[in-house]
Amino acid sequence: MQRLKSSDPDFPRAFARLVKDRRESDENVARDVQTIVADVRLRGDEALAEYTAKFDGHLPADDDWRIPAEACREAFDALKPDLRAALELAAQRIRAYHEAQLPEDRDYTDATGMRLGARWSAVDGAGLYVPGGRAAYPSSLLMNAIPAKVAGVERLVVVTPTPKGEANPLVLAAAHLAGADEVWRIGGAQAVAALAYGTDRIKPVDVITGPGNAWVAEAKRQLFGIVGIDMVAGPSEILVIADGNNDPQWIAADLLSQAEHDPVAQSILITDDAGFADQVADMIGVEIAMLPTAKVAKASWDAFGVIIVVDSLDEAPALANALAAEHVEIATDDPEALFNQIRHAGSVFLGRMTPEAVGDYVAGPNHVLPTGRRARFSSGLSVLDFMKRTSFIAASDAALAAVGPAAIALADAEGLAAHARSIELRLGI
C-alpha cells in the first residue's frame, strides 16, 4: 500500500504517477485477441468449437450450444426464496431507474416553416457477455439486460462460458428474469467475435455490452465499429473521501469491496485525519483476514492500494477530478458540498450510509461504469447505449426560400457545385 501526504514536496510528482498508472491489457493480449477474432471471422463455428474445447475444457454437442429457455426458467424456480426475492427487487429497481432514462422524440416547426426533429429507436439486436466460473455475477446480467429491454431491443443474446460444461445457475436464473432471448455456451474473445460477425449458428448483433477479462475487453475494443460497445472496461476502482468521524472498519470494508474483484483493482482513500488513516490501514488487515476473497483482495491492496492524507478535504475534489474514478464515496457530514465540485466520476455515493456495494445490486443506477479515468469523457451504461437517434427535416417552399440562399453560398465556398445546384433548381435560380 502506498501512502501519500499532500503537504509533502514530492506529492505533485507522486500523485501524477498515480493518475497516469495503467493497469490494463498489454500488447501480448492485443495480439492474441487479434488472432482469435480473425479466426472466428474466417472459420465461424469451427473456430468457436476449438476455442471452447481449449479454454473451457468441453465441447458441446451440436444441439447443446444454446441453453434452452426452459433451463433458465428452471434455474430461477429453483432459487431459494430469499435469493429469488433479492433478484426480483434488484430487477424492479433497475428497471424503474432506467425507464426514467428513455428519451423523448422531437418534432417541431421553426420560424421559417421548416419541420425539424429527431426520432429514437432501439437497435435490432444486442449481445451481452456474462463471465462464467469464479466471476459469475447475475447482478451484472440484470444491469446490462434490463436497460436493453427497456430501450426496446427485440433480440437480446447472452453469451457465457460454461467451464467443464457447467452453466452457472444464478446466471441462468438472471437471464430468465431479465428476458434474454438466447443464451449460448461460449465465452472469451471468441464469443465477442461471434456476436460481432455472426456464425452459422449465431446471428450477429448490433451492440455488445457486459464485463469480462482482459481478452474480452480487448476484443470489444478491436471490434468497435463493426458493432457498438458499451465501453472498454479495465480493472475496478474506488475512491473514498472520508473524514475522521467515520467508523474505520466501515471504510476498510468499502475499500476492500473493490479490491476483492481483481488483483489489479485499485482502492484509494483520501482523508484529512492522519490518525483515522492509520486506523483504516489497520482495519484493512483485520477485514482481509475474514474474507474468503482474501488472496485477491490482499494482492490488490498491497500492490495498488493508496491512502492520501490532505490538510483539508477542500483539496479532495481536485484530486478526485484528476483520478476520475469509477466509484467515488463521500463519507462526510456534508457530502453535497464536495459532490457539487466533482465533475469526473462514474458514480458517486453520498453520505456515511451509502456504501458503493448497494449500488452494485439494488439502488437502481447502473453499475457498469467507466474505469481507467474514462469518466472524464464517458458515462455509465444506460438505455441510450441500446438506442440511436435519427434526425429528420421537412422543408416547405417558404422554408427552402428562406434558408436556401445561405446553403448555396456555403456550397459555392466549399467548391461543391452539385450541392448548390440541387438547391438552386428548386428555387428557380
Say whether both 198 and 318 belong to one domain. no
CATH of residue 140's domain is 3.40.50.1980
Note the helical H segments in 225-346.
Answer: 248-259, 274-290, 294-304, 316-323, 335-339
200, 229, 258 - which closes a domain? 229
261 labelled catalytic: no
Q: Which helix (H) or strand (E) holds 407?
A: helix 397-413
Say whether both 269 and 320 belong to one domain. yes
Say whether both 201 and 294 belong to one domain. no
Going through 45-177 in order, the beta strands assigned E by DSSP cover: 106-109, 115-122, 125-129, 155-159
| Cell numbers describing residue 380 | 455509465
Would 117 be classed as within a structural domain?
no
Q: What percent of the chain has pLDDT over 70?
A: 99
Say whether both 290 and 418 belong to one domain. no
Q: Is the pLDDT of residue 131 over 70?
A: yes
Of these residues, 182, 237, 326, 356, which one is catalytic?
326
Would 386 be classed as within a structural domain?
no
Mind listing the pLDDT tens digit for each residue in 276-287?
999 999 999 999
Per-residue pLDDT, averaged over 386-395, amounts to 98
> What is the total count of domains within the chain?
3
Say whether both 281 and 206 belong to one domain. no
Q: Is the pLDDT of residue 142 over 70?
A: yes
Say whether both 174 and 247 belong to one domain. no
Say whether both 201 and 248 belong to one domain. no
Which amino acid is located at 334 in the chain?
Answer: D
Q: How far apart are CA 27 and CA 281, in angstroms?
A: 35
Would 368 be classed as within a structural domain?
no
Q: How far apart are CA 144 and CA 153, in angstroms?
A: 12
Say whether both 208 and 85 belong to one domain. yes
Of these residues, 327, 344, 356, 367, which one is catalytic?
327
What is the value of pTM for the model shown?
A: 0.93
Q: What percent of the chain has pLDDT over 90?
A: 93
SS3 call for 379: coil
The boundaries of the domain holding residue 421 are 395-427
Say whether both 169 and 96 belong to one domain. yes
Which amino acid is located at 429 in the chain?
Answer: I
Task: Say which residues have a Cβ less than 8 Å from residue 115's Cβ, sequence separation at least 6.
Answer: 107, 108, 109, 392, 393, 394, 395, 396
327 labelled catalytic: yes
Q: How far apart are CA 26 and CA 287, in angstroms?
A: 32
Mind listing the pLDDT tens digit for each residue in 328-374?
999 999 999 999 999 999 999 999 999 999 999 999 999 999 999 99
| Cell numbers describing residue 408 | 448555396
Say whether both 162 and 301 belong to one domain. no
